[in-house]
């Protein structure tokens, strides 16, 4: 790839592995001077990883990065900052108790002649900078008092203060209201006009079409293509993002849905910061069907599952498992017939420092020994049986869970949860970080559970998986179920549109003023 004077960043053949997992497959990307360049893809497609490599957060295993005509290899963010790269992270890197001006200058503080921090100058410069870019802020305001939208301004100003000529925005609209989003887009266009480059990471298609000059699509760690925003539609992008052909198709017969196993009624719950995340959410899952909950991450699916599993207290509403009303008590919920396979294997679903037999025993302790007594031998025996039954390769009851691969860890969770006689199975991102071979057997197992008359509820950000597994698809958007679709009567594009909020339950189009969206 040749470097032209119009290019501000050229990434060539960057490859990144985490252990055995390949996060980025030889990606190449060119960002021109003065353009807004969108990088789109589903969650886990590798967008953020690629950008973190560009920002010097971790080194690539192979490949080259060229910034403004110079080959670079950064040893940390400070060197990337030096080279003119700024990044606004999805999770802000701000100091809550400090003022706007102080946050902006951290790391490159202006000093007085005596060598002290020149806070006057910092305030004047911060204010001037804000005015110049239309991002006005009170430099003396304390950051924790600001609403999220304004905190993002501080992050952007921080990058501009260090004279960033290439600005990476990682999912910047995730935390903004539609109005704030429009304002941000105006600012982004203004930057591009002034000769800077903006890399805009997102998965929201209508935003991309509204603001980007060029669009690069990533899927499963590969950078597929870079397109001009002239002649492309949201549908085209959606199918590129998810891949037209469904890679893994599980053979399964027609569902034979029976009675209701899980019923969620008018559920409301708050998120980590105490604000409402779920608003009046209702749905049900019946015996003998697989229902998938699709949605862009962060729209409330974590909270839904936590509420059902008893790990989060709902603000109001009702959850019934097998007709029994359950609350925030994991033990009671499990006893009501719940089996839950969490996405966070290391943190929630397994204890990595424990032996496999111990991991398999949790949740079933009552079976191993009578009364208060515990029989490790019984637990080990059951574990050995499950290891061969679920074909967990390289496992031994006494081996530590952390010594297993992602796919085999997933099988340990699966074996433990499916062995119990549950009538409701919740599988959260069942194929995340799992190798292809294991995905297939995991999917087959879930279908077998359905055929045995159990209710299966799958939460997945991967639409391939949603389509290959489910009989029914629920789409969650901003804490509400916006669609309840029969898998056999719908297609990827429709689901994608619901996920991106382009279409709502009433069929009303939400794309605002962009001709490409239908």
Distance, in Å, from the CA atom of 3 to the CA atom of 291, rounded to the nearest integer, reads 49
Q: To the nearest whole angstrom, how small is the minimum distance from the Cβ of residue 405 to other proteins?
A: 14
Stretch that binds other proteins, among 88-96, 128-136, 199-207, 282-290 (CB under 8 A): 88-96
Minimum distance, C-beta of residue 149 to other proteins, in the bound complex (Å) = 19
Stretch that binds other proteins, among 38-46, 56-64, 194-202, 280-288 (CB under 8 A): 56-64
The dihedral built from the CA positions of residue 131, 135, 136 and 138, taken in this order, carries a sign that is negative
Q: Which of residues 292-321 bind other proteins (CB under 8 A)?
A: 306, 309, 311-315
Q: Which stretch binds other proteins (CB under 8 A): 32-40, 124-132, 366-374, 448-456?
A: 366-374
> Which DSSP string do the residues of 224-268 spell out, in sequence order?
EEEEESSS--HHHHHHHHH-SS-S-----------SEEEEEEEEE
Binding-site member from 3, 28, 43, 441 for other proteins (CB under 8 A): 28
Token output for 458: 């799958």
- Measured from the CB atom, the residue of 16 and 450 that comes closer to other proteins is 16
* Nearest approach, Cβ of residue 473 and other proteins (Å): 27
- State the binding string over 102-141 for other proteins (x if CB under 8 A, else -): xx--xxxx-x---xxx------------------------
Q: State which residue, 61 or 284, has the beta carbon closest to other proteins.
A: 61
46 binds other proteins (CB under 8 A): no
| Binding segment (CB under 8 A) for other proteins, from list 164-172, 230-238, 282-290, 341-349 | 341-349
Question: Looking only at residues 150 through 179 of this chain, which bind other proteins when binding is defined by CB under 8 A?
Answer: 158
Q: Does 385 bind other proteins (CB under 8 A)?
A: no
| Closer to other proteins by Cβ: residue 284 or 384 | 384
Angle subtended at Cα 182 by Cα 176 and Cα 187, rounded to the nearest 5 degrees: 100
Residues 427 to 486 in contact with other proteins, rule: CB under 8 A: none
Which of 83, 354, 378, 510 touches other proteins (CB under 8 A)?
Answer: 354
Longest dimension (CA), the chain: 79
216 contacts 226 by C-beta, under 8 angstroms = yes
Q: Is residue 84 a contact residue for other proteins (CB under 8 A)? A: no
C-beta closer to other proteins: residue 298 or 453: 298
Residue 363 binds to other proteins (criterion: CB under 8 A): yes
Is the CB of residue 54 less than 8 Å from the CB of residue 11? yes
Beta strands 70-72 and 260-270 are unpaired
| Closest to other proteins by CB, 117 or 452 | 117
Q: Is 340 in the site for other proteins (CB under 8 A)?
A: yes
Whole-angstrom distance, CA of residue 452 vs CA of residue 288: 7
Residue 488: HSE in the Cβ half-sphere, 13 Å Cα cutoff: 7
Cβ closest to other proteins, residue 89 vs residue 443: 89
- Strand duo 85-88 + 214-219: pairing: unpaired
CA gap 238, 242 in Å, rounded: 6
Closer Cβ to other proteins, 289 or 306, answer by number: 306
- Considering the rule CB under 8 A, would residue 2 count as an interface residue with other proteins? no
Q: What's CA 261's distance to the chain center, in Å?
A: 28
Rule CB under 8 A: is residue 353 a binding residue for other proteins? yes
Q: How far apart, in whole angstroms, are the C-alpha atoms of residue 462 and residue 246? A: 11
b vs e for 471-509, b when ≥16 Cβ sit within 10 Å of the residue's Cβ?
bbbbbbbebbbbbebebeebebbbbbbbbbbbbbeeeee
Q: How many residues bind other proteins (CB under 8 A)?
A: 84
Task: Determine if 423 is a binding residue for other proteins (CB under 8 A).
Answer: no
């Amino acid at each position: 790839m040749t470097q032209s004077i119009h290019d501000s960043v050229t990434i060539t053949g960057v490859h990144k592995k985490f252990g055995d997992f390949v996060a980025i497959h030889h990606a190449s990307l060119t960002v021109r001077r003065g353009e807004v360049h969108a990088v789109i893809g589903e969650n886990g497609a590798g967008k953020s990883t690629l950008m973190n490599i560009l920002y010097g957060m971790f080194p690539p295993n192979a490949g080259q990065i060229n910034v403004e005509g110079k080959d670079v290899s950064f040893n940390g963010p400070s060197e990337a900052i030096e080279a003119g790269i700024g990044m606004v992270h999805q999770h802000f890197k701000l100091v809550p108790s400090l003022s706007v001006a102080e946050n902006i200058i951290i790391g490159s503080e202006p000093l007085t002649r005596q060598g002290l921090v020149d806070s006057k100058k910092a305030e004047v410069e911060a204010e001037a900078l804000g005015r110049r870019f239309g991002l006005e802020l009170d430099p003396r305001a304390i950051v924790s008092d600001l609403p999220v939208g304004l905190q993002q301004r501080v992050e952007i100003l921080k990058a501009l203060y260090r004279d960033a000529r290439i600005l990476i925005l990682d999912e910047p609209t995730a935390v903004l209201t539609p109005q704030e989003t429009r304002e941000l887009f105006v600012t982004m266009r203004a930057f591009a006009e002034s000769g800077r480059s903006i890399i805009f990471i997102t998965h929201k298609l209508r935003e991309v079409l509204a603001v980007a000059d060029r669009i690069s699509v990533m899927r499963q760690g590969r950078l597929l293509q870079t397109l001009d925003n002239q002649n492309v539609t949201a549908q085209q992008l959606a199918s590129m993002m998810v891949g037209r052909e469904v890679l893994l198709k599980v053979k399964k017969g027609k569902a034979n849905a029976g009675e209701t196993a899980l019923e969620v009624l008018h559920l409301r719950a708050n998120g980590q910061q105490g604000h409402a995340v779920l608003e009046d959410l209702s749905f049900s899952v019946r015996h003998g069907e697989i229902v998938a909950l699709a949605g862009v991450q962060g729209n409330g699916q974590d909270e839904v599952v936590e509420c059902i599993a008893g790990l989060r207290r709902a603000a109001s509403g009702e959850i019934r498992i097998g007709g029994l009303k359950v609350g925030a008590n994991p033990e009671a919920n499990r006893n009501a017939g719940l089996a839950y396979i969490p996405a966070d294997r290391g943190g929630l679903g397994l204890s990595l420092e424990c032996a496999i037999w111990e991991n398999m025993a949790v949740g079933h302790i009552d079976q191993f020994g009578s009364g208060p007594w515990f029989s490790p031998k019984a637990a080990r025996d059951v574990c050995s049986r499950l290891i061969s039954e679920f074909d967990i390769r390289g496992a031994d009851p006494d081996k530590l869970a952390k010594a297993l691969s992602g796919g085999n860890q997933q099988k340990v969770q699966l074996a433990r949860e499916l062995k119990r006689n549950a009538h409701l199975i919740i599988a959260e991102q069942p194929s995340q970080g799992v190798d292809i071979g294991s995905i297939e057997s995991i999917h087959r197992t879930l279908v077998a559970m359905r055929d045995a008359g159990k209710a299966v509820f799958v939460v997945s950000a991967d639409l391939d998986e949603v389509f290959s597994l489910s009989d029914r698809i629920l789409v969650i958007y901003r804490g509400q179920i916006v669609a309840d679709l029969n898998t056999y009567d719908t297609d990827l594009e429709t689901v994608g549109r619901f996920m991106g909020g382009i279409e709502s339950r009433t069929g009303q189009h939400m794309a605002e003023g962009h001709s490409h969206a239908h």
